[in-house]
Amino acid sequence: MSLLDKATIITTPTAHSNGKLHSIKGGAVADFDVVRGSAATRVNAEGLIESVAINTPRIDYTTGEGVILTEPQSTNLIVNSELNNVENILVSAVSHTISFYGTGSITLSGTHSATLVGTGASDRVSLTFTPTAGTLICTDSGSVDKKQVEELSYSTSYIPTSGAITTRLGDVVTGAGDVNTFNSTEGVLYAEIASLTQDDTYRLMGLNDGSAQNRINITYNNETNELVFYCSVNNLSEFLFTKTLADTTTFHKCALSYKSNEFKVYIDGVQENVQLSGSVYPANTLDTLDFNLGNGAFPFYGKTKCIAVLKEALSDEELTCLTTI
Amino acid sequence: MIYLRYEFNDKEQADTKIEALGEDVNAAFIRLNKLVMTEGAYDSEGVEITAPILSLGYAVDVLWRDLDASPYGWKTYEVTPTIPKHKLL
């Protein structure tokens, strides 16, 4: 039986519709529900920024390859993102990021002093800084387009504004599969993913029973560049392995194979950890694949090229093959 | 589902009201701080000539996913600006 035959869900950045991210294997029950209470933007396959409707998944081509883009809520604090002008922004003393497209420059004054210089009409430049609390003044010079100031340590997808600061709400991706889709006694959770940034928040995806008690997760940790593989049964940790990567913002192929007394982690074709102890679940426990902890907390914000679940624990050779670049 | 705007006395009051809702509330909270009601004026060196005029309270917009009106204790702080300074994309 091939790896493809053993997979019960495979989701890639391909088919989607309003409110649904369709899986390429597993039938309709394997599709994810997608909720985002606002519109958003993406870079399409032609490299152009376009609007995406409420609750519609985003296949983003910023890097040239399509990825499932899931982002946190963010507000563009610029009132008119496509007008050349001077803007006052009331800021707190926390990390902010300014970005724009064009060949001009934006000079910051008031609560922070800096100048961000553009490099091209199609290039986005950004600067992360921490101002003092108060009024930040942004003064444009030359060609400046699609301006964005966010209270984040990195820039997110463009949020156009016209006459008011504007918020894009976070992406919520949940609910693929059911109790018949997954094998609770053994299997593999696989993901090819990259983080949006090396930030200090937990970002989880994985299998669960609708709670935080029974779950198998692949997680970006709240420590820089840490990737965590975790299994809990009735809220007891049965397996935990943490790998520090050189850079989580680059894509990695990750697999966690689980069965009773055998947990294995593979990343990019390399066996990273084996644990020959630990329990798993009674049959028919796991029933959902979510981009979060299982109870909605710690959503996975990142880029996903593939997420899959296989119904058998795999051999070393199979896991090497599955995760080899 | 309903999208409503609120203005609290300060950030502490807003945080207290949000925390009191508990973890199970199905809503998106957008903490906006004070809003710039009138832009300031600056000279070519960026030196302030006229200070911006800010709103008085601490603004929070909320998308209530499971409600069609403010929950108990929130209605008092609801505002309906003629020209909103914040909106959802």
Query: DSSP per residue over A44-96, as a string?
Result: -TTS-EEEE-TT---EE-TTSS-EEEE---EEE--SBTTS-SEEEEEE-SS-E
Chain B residues closer than 8 Å to A89 by CB: 36
Is residue A1 pLDDT above 80, yes or no? no
Are A169 and B35 within 8 A, CB to CB?
no
Q: What is the pLDDT of residue B23?
A: 82
Shortest Cα distance from B76 to chain A (angstroms)?
Answer: 24
> What are A107-157's pLDDT values in tens digits?
999 899 999 999 999 999 999 999 999 989 999 999 999 999 999 999 999
> What are A256-290's pLDDT values in tens digits?
999 999 999 999 999 999 999 999 999 999 999 99
In the A/B pair of chains, how many CB contacts fall below 8 A?
78
- Better-predicted residue by pLDDT, B52 or A70: A70
Q: Rounded to whole angstroms, how far apart are CA atoms B19 and A247? A: 35
Are A160 and B35 within 8 A, CB to CB?
no
Q: Report the Cα–Cα distance between both ends of chain B, in Å, rounded.
A: 16
Is residue A302 helix, strand or coil? strand
Amino acid identity at B47: V
Element holding B27 (H helix, E strand): strand B27-33
Is residue B47 pLDDT above 80, yes or no? no
DSSP sequence for A241-261:
EEEE-S-TTS-EEEEEEEETT
Q: Rounded to whole angstroms, how far apart are CA atoms A182 and A98? A: 43
Domain regions of chain A by residue span: 3-37+172-323, 74-168
Q: What is the pLDDT of residue A80?
A: 95
Q: Are strands B86-88 and A165-168 parallel, antiparallel or unpaired?
A: parallel
**In whole numbers, what is the pLDDT of chain A averaged over residues?**
95
Amino acid identity at A169: L
Are A37 and B65 within 8 A, CB to CB?
yes
Chain B residues closer than 8 Å to A149 by CB: none
Alpha-carbon distances, residue B89 vs A79, A126, A162, A294, A314 (angstroms): 13, 21, 10, 28, 44
List the beta bridge partners of residue A226: A244
Q: Rounded to whole angstroms, how far apart are CA atoms A193 and A304? A: 5
Alpha-carbon distances, residue A23 vs A57, A104, A156, A188, A292 (angstroms): 12, 43, 25, 17, 17
- Better-predicted residue by pLDDT, A254 or B46: A254
Q: Rounded to whole angstroms, how far apart are CA atoms A156 and A72? A: 8
- Quick one: CATH architecture of A3-37+172-323? Sandwich (2.60)
What value does the mean pLDDT take over residues B68-73?
94
Which one of A92, A110, A166 has the shortest CB-CB distance to B89? Answer: A166
Burial A224-234 (b: 16+ CB within 10 A, else e): eeebbbbbbbe
A74-168, which class in CATH?
A: mainly beta
ipTM of this predicted structure = 0.89
Q: Which two tokens stand for residue A195?
A: 């983080």
Chain A residues closer than 8 Å to B30 by CB: 73, 75, 167
CB A96, CB A149: distance < 8 Å: yes
Are B32 and A38 within 8 A, CB to CB?
no
Q: Rounded to whole angstroms, how far apart are CA atoms A171 and A58? A: 9
Q: Which two tokens stand for residue B47?
A: 């030196």
Is residue B2 pLDDT above 70, yes or no? yes
State the DSSP code for B75: G
DSSP sequence for A257-288:
EEETTEEEEEETTEEEEEE-------TT---E
> What are A184-215's pLDDT values in tens digits?
999 999 999 999 998 789 999 999 999 999 99
Q: pLDDT-derived band of residue B42, with 50, 70 and 90 as boundaries? A: confident
Q: pLDDT-derived band of residue A325, with 50, 70 and 90 as boundaries? A: low
Burial A43-71 (b: 16+ CB within 10 A, else e): beeeeeeeebebbbbbbbbeeeebbbbbb
Is residue B43 pLDDT above 90, yes or no? no
Shortest Cα distance from B72 to chain A (angstroms)?
Answer: 23
Q: pLDDT-derived band of residue A246, with 50, 70 and 90 as boundaries? A: very high
Q: What is the pLDDT of residue A323?
A: 96
Which one of A37, A90, A159 has the shortest CB-CB distance to B34? Answer: A90
